[in-house]
Structure 1
Amino acid sequence: MLQFELWKKVLIWLTCAVGLWLALPNAFYSRVEQHNDALAAIEVGGETPALAEQVAEWPNWMPSALVNLGLDLRGGAHLLAEVEVADVYASRMEAMWPEIRDALRPERAEIGTIRLQPSDPQEIHVRISQPEGMARALQVVRDLARPIQTLTGVGSTDIEVRGEGDTLIVSLSEAEKLASDDRTVSQSLEIIRRRIDEVGTREPTIQRQGKDRILIQVPGIGSASELKEIIGTTAQLTFNPVVGRGSDANANPGVGNKLVPALEDEGVYYTLESAPVVTGEELVDAQPAFDQNGRPAVNFRFNTSGARKFGDYTAENIGSPFAIVLDDEVISAPVIQSHIPGGSGIITGNFTVEESTNLAVLLRAGALPARLEFLEERTIGPELGQDSIEAGRIATMVAFVAVLVFMALSYGLFGIFANIALILNVALIFGLLSLIGATLTLPGIAGIVLTVGMAVDANVLVFERIREELKTSRGPARAIELGYEKALSAILDANITTFITAVILFAIGSGPVRGFAITLGLGILTSVFTAIYVTRLIIVMWYDRRRPKTIEV
């Protein structure tokens, strides 16, 4: 006999009710989106009457999670960037010179004086005055080498050291270059993600492509140029000792120094020591602020290591200028007036409020380890996204109506029961997408359309089995029961194999493929639930009330 225990009935209807409840905000998308944006703005900047009015557009006791719209639906910006990994080699060599110099100085008795020589940026050339001490110099510098902590670099060290006459040459090993390339791209990927998250955009797609490329897609942002402004600046902050100041752009800064233009004073150039005292990598916080004159500025704070180096240098160099350099431009070069303990300070300049806020975001997110070369950029207007939504909506509605009509004509009253379950099925899909914060793309809409077509497949299997049982003179109750029992294995087999395919697509796919896999996988789960439980429960409730002697399917 057909039976459903009370707790099962309650659980099935409760699941359907929760799914409808979670999906409901998507029916009022614009209103709920304004409500959510206003709440986020209040958390950052405090409440205003305009924001309070937007918050009131949607009740706080209602769910407010929405299905995020992808780039092809909302519009936004698309960038393909190539990381200039070779830039890091020169930076590594530049940063290594003070360590090599400090290691060789105690050995002067054997190697004589040491002098840095002009060389390729990816190498360090050091001349020693006593060539007979070259063996000792090579040993000392080789002791500075560190093992490479990667599987491909097992047994290798990060630097190669060789001697040519009276010149010691240090360069990165090939294994270290490979490891450095991988680290640089991974670090760039993470910093780009943090910078975009700081701005508060919804569901960006940031993925590595190939060896040294990064794909960036951000829905809802105005243009590709706006996105480039957020992520394209390396924001490499350093604090360098000042050697001199002048107006000659072609002046020779000398070995170990570099010539850097001033940001505010056109025609002014600073000669700085190449090796910085402290870098932006040792920053732990940066916030927009105002200086003592009420002009926009940026407060910063170093970690323990940076604070110690910053404090020691300021204590030992009172009265000397100290350059704050951002992306090879001197922002300011104040004279150190006193010891600055604690590792905190302020960056002042001719900033606007917006520029100081963006600079704080860039510094807080961290410096890009290398420049980005943008190979491809596209701006997708919101009107194109709206066209995609309309096209997807029409396709879904056509498929939906066609399936409803087919089921009603083919199976009569039982087809109507299946149609009710189908409507609940689509609502459950949107409820789950909202719950997990998934992003809906055009391929995702295709997945929903496919799910609508597949959703009735399980009901068709059941109804056809019921028809066969009725032909063997079974009673209505027994025919319905056997129909569900005998169709269950076929339903599970078909849907499990499709679900495995969806999982594989999600695991190895990216972007649009994943969007399709998510909606397809969730659609399979909800389809099986509505076919096995919801449709059956509706039929059982109808049968218990009517108790028909015969049924037609």
Structure 2
Amino acid sequence: MLQIELWKRILIWGAVVLGLLLAAPNLFYGKVERYNDAVAAGQPAEGWSDYLPSGLVNLGLDLRGGAHLLAEVKVEEVYATRMKGLWPDVRTRLRDARDTVGTIRLQQGPEDELRVKIGNADAIDEAVRIVREIARPVTSLTGAGQTDLVVSAQGDVVIVQLSEAERLSTDDRTVRQSLEIIRRRIDEVGTREPTIQRQGADRILIQVPGVGSAEELKAIIGTTAQLTFQPVIRRTTDDQTVARPGEAVLPALDDAGQFYVLEDTPVVTGEELVDAEPSFDQNGRPAVSFRFNPGGARKFGDYTANNIGNPFAIVLDNEVISAPVIQSHIAGGSGIITGNFTVEESTNLAVLLRAGALPAGLDFLEERTIGPELGADSIQAGKIACIVAGAAVLLFMFASYGLFGLFANIALVLNVGLIFGLLSLVGATLTLPGIAGIVLTIGMAVDANVLVFERIREELKTAKGPARAIELGYERALSAIVDANITTFIIALILFVLGSGPVRGFSVTLGIGIITSVFTAIWVTRLLIVTWFDRARPKTIEV
């Protein structure tokens, strides 16, 4: 018989009410947005109840307005920097063997090579062996078992280059580091839902809603992070600790509830940091090595010589990212940070250490500024498209199926509400192509109802009673509905995985729309019809 158990009815209506509650904040977008901003800033929040959902559908760049940049990271610059940084170590090691290799002199050559001429050409093999001792294992899974340097000889000249595995690892670290720096810079501005993602091997897509122009966004990206190395006075868990004159109280980045009391004047700053990269300590455990310029090396060496056994805080943007204990005098401007790191953690720490400046220059291949007026026009055009599409579908369904069409129309309105509820729940960003996906969903949403209603018509022609015709109509149309929507959902999934930007925005709304459409067509419409049938008990029905 035509019936739905009570628990199923409660579950269906509960899901509908929950979805509409999640969608409700979007009806008061400005008020809820100000409330969320106040909560995020830790300020008193008014205008919205704490007991109601406050998630919003984020507006994309084409709806809110803002700036769009496509940047290419000039990874080749990092090779030259690495070679320059190797020269002091190479010079020191060869000077220690001067009796064998003779005089040493730096030679001009390609920027990604280090060329050193020795006085005794007969000792070139020994010089190559000495320089090869500088090489370290490549800190990446693809470079396992390989070293970061290739050392060769050409006459009386020692040539040092990065290995191919190290170049690939360096390229990846450079782009990841650039992403981290850009993200930290933009987050400081307080923009909503910026899109910062890697495209290809060495390109970064940057889309920031609410920024006035592309030039303003480029200026934000170019800002230097504040990195300092400061002496630690003590560690505390009291967040009410008051700093005395000459002190600063800063939180630990990765250890909630922990604070450090530091001397306010740094020993060295990030402006004097030349390099930081993941490496391994003498026991083969992941660590992070770093290097200062000559001025920073002198100050760092003097401080470590006088403070062995004391902790030394590494501070990035007023947060302590690490506080290692000085084990010995660190001369030469380079050192190593050890700890219970994984390879991933040491890589991330190296990225944070170097987040004071971009590791390489950026070439901006594409720049666009989208004004808020254009975004407002897009929203208005999207509203009109949705209203027109919805009105046309509602009129068609009512004209074609009468009362049953009215039930389908109610489910269609609930479907749109559920789409926005799910978009708000997952924190999705709505773009202009996303609005197109919603419009398409409105047109597709009644397909399942059309299949069911036509099937009910056929069953009525076989002289079955109305209850049996409705039941068979839903049962026999189910397979066609599921097959059609599964294939469309697979396409939406492929678009999401392989696409980017606007394509993903379209696929998200399309995929969510398919899920809600099937739910409303199979369960909500059926529940409405069953509820009506239980009350009216008609002898015949018109579909």
Shorter-chain TM-score tier: 0.7 to 0.9
2:55 to 47, 65, 69: 65
Distance 1:237-1:10 versus aligned 2 partners, 3 A rule: closer
Deviates more, 1:307-316 or 1:509-518: 307-316
**Letter paired with 2:429:** T
2:429 to 439, 446, 459: 439
- Any residues of structure 2 matched to 1:89-108 within 5 Å, and which? 89-108=79-98
Q: Distance in 2 between matches of 1:3 and 1:454?
A: 27
1:186 to 176, 180, 185: 176
| Alpha-carbon contact 1:235-1:363 (below 8 Å) kept | no
Distance 1:157-1:316 versus aligned 2 partners, 3 A rule: closer
Q: Distance in 1 between matches of 2:140 and 2:301?
A: 40
Distance 1:89-1:305 versus aligned 2 partners, 3 A rule: closer
Q: Deviations over 1:505-542 (max 9, x none)?
A: 11111111111111111111101100111000010010
Normalization by structure 2: what TM-score? Answer: 0.77
Q: Distance in 1 between matches of 2:270 and 2:144?
A: 42
| Map of 1:248 onto structure 2 | none
Q: Deviations over 1:154-194 (max 9, x none)?
A: 77643332334433222234454344333322332233233
Deviates more, 1:117-126 or 1:442-451: 117-126
Distance 1:195-1:291 versus aligned 2 partners, 3 A rule: same
Q: Distance in 2 between matches of 1:502 and 1:110?
A: 68
How far apart are residue 227 of structure 1 and its match?
1.4
| Alpha-carbon contact 2:227-2:314 (below 8 Å) kept | no
| Alpha-carbon contact 1:237-1:367 (below 8 Å) kept | no
| Map of 2:477 onto structure 1 | 487
1:343 to 292, 312, 317: 312
Secondary structure of the residue aligned to 2:360 is: coil
1:430 to 401, 404, 420: 420
Secondary structure of the residue aligned to 2:49 is: coil
Q: Deviations over 1:17-64 (max 9, x none)?
A: 00010000000101111111111122xxxx3xxxx3xx2111111111
Q: Deviations over 1:268-314 (max 9, x none)?
A: xxxxxxxxxxxxxxx999x9x99989xxx999999997899999954
- Any residues of structure 2 matched to 1:27-176 within 5 Å, and which? 27-42=27-42, 47=43, 52=44, 55-148=45-138, 157-176=147-166
| Alpha-carbon contact 2:177-2:355 (below 8 Å) kept | no
**Letter paired with 2:182:** I
Q: Deviations over 1:380-422 (max 9, x none)?
A: 1111000000001100000001111111111111110111111
Secondary structure of the residue aligned to 1:63 is: coil
Fraction of identical pairs, as percent: 66
Structure 1: runs of 5 or more not aligned: 240-282, 319-335, 348-361
Distance 1:160-1:238 versus aligned 2 partners, 3 A rule: farther
How far apart are residue 425 of structure 1 and its match?
0.5
| Alpha-carbon contact 1:298-1:346 (below 8 Å) kept | no
**Letter paired with 2:124:** M
- Any residues of structure 2 matched to 1:490-505 within 5 Å, and which? 490-505=480-495
Distance 1:131-1:87 versus aligned 2 partners, 3 A rule: same
- Any residues of structure 2 matched to 1:17-32 within 5 Å, and which? 17-32=17-32
Matched, 1:530 2:520: yes
| Map of 2:198 onto structure 1 | 208
| Map of 1:351 onto structure 2 | none
Distance 1:174-1:68 versus aligned 2 partners, 3 A rule: same
Secondary structure of the residue aligned to 2:198 is: strand
| Map of 1:8 onto structure 2 | 8
Distance 1:338-1:315 versus aligned 2 partners, 3 A rule: farther
Q: Distance in 2 between matches of 1:488 and 1:69?
A: 36
Q: Deviations over 1:467-486 (max 9, x none)?
A: 11111111110111011011
**Letter paired with 1:343:** F
Q: Deviations over 1:104-157 (max 9, x none)?
A: 233233113434345443222223232222110011212333454667767764
Deviates more, 1:452-461 or 1:204-213: 204-213
**Letter paired with 2:477:** A
| Alpha-carbon contact 1:311-1:339 (below 8 Å) kept | no
| Alpha-carbon contact 1:156-1:175 (below 8 Å) kept | yes
Matched, 1:421 2:421: no
Distance 1:450-1:234 versus aligned 2 partners, 3 A rule: same
Distance 1:440-1:112 versus aligned 2 partners, 3 A rule: same
- Any residues of structure 2 matched to 1:366-515 within 5 Å, and which? 366-515=356-505
How far apart are residue 214 of structure 1 and its match?
1.5
| Alpha-carbon contact 1:414-1:539 (below 8 Å) kept | yes
**Letter paired with 1:39:** V
Distance 1:14-1:364 versus aligned 2 partners, 3 A rule: farther
| Alpha-carbon contact 2:226-2:270 (below 8 Å) kept | no
Q: Distance in 2 between matches of 1:162 and 1:533?
A: 73
Q: Distance in 1 between matches of 2:6 and 2:315?
A: 68
**Letter paired with 1:85:** V
| Map of 1:260 onto structure 2 | none
**Letter paired with 2:451:** L
Secondary structure of the residue aligned to 1:124 is: strand
Q: Distance in 1 between matches of 2:490 and 2:175?
A: 32
Q: Distance in 2 between matches of 1:190 and 1:448?
A: 34
- Any residues of structure 2 matched to 1:273-288 within 5 Å, and which? none
How far apart are residue 369 of structure 1 and its match?
1.5
How far apart are residue 67 of structure 1 and its match?
0.2
Q: Distance in 1 between matches of 2:297 and 2:151?
A: 32
| Alpha-carbon contact 2:225-2:355 (below 8 Å) kept | no
| Alpha-carbon contact 2:138-2:145 (below 8 Å) kept | yes
**Letter paired with 2:81:** S
**Residue correspondences, number:** 464
Secondary structure of the residue aligned to 1:57 is: coil
Secondary structure of the residue aligned to 2:403 is: helix
Q: Distance in 1 between matches of 2:369 and 2:411?
A: 40
Secondary structure of the residue aligned to 2:37 is: helix
| Alpha-carbon contact 2:228-2:315 (below 8 Å) kept | no
Distance 1:526-1:345 versus aligned 2 partners, 3 A rule: closer
How large is the Cα RMSD of the aligned pairs? 3.6
Distance 1:60-1:467 versus aligned 2 partners, 3 A rule: same
Q: Distance in 2 between matches of 1:35 and 1:477?
A: 50
Structure 2: runs of 5 or more not aligned: 230-252, 277-286, 317-351
Distance 1:510-1:413 versus aligned 2 partners, 3 A rule: same
**Letter paired with 2:312:** G
Distance 1:117-1:448 versus aligned 2 partners, 3 A rule: same
Q: Distance in 1 between matches of 2:416 and 2:75?
A: 47
Q: Distance in 2 between matches of 1:316 and 1:419?
A: 76
Secondary structure of the residue aligned to 1:388 is: helix
Distance 1:147-1:205 versus aligned 2 partners, 3 A rule: same
| Alpha-carbon contact 1:76-1:223 (below 8 Å) kept | yes
How far apart are residue 346 of structure 1 and its match?
9.7
| Map of 1:242 onto structure 2 | none
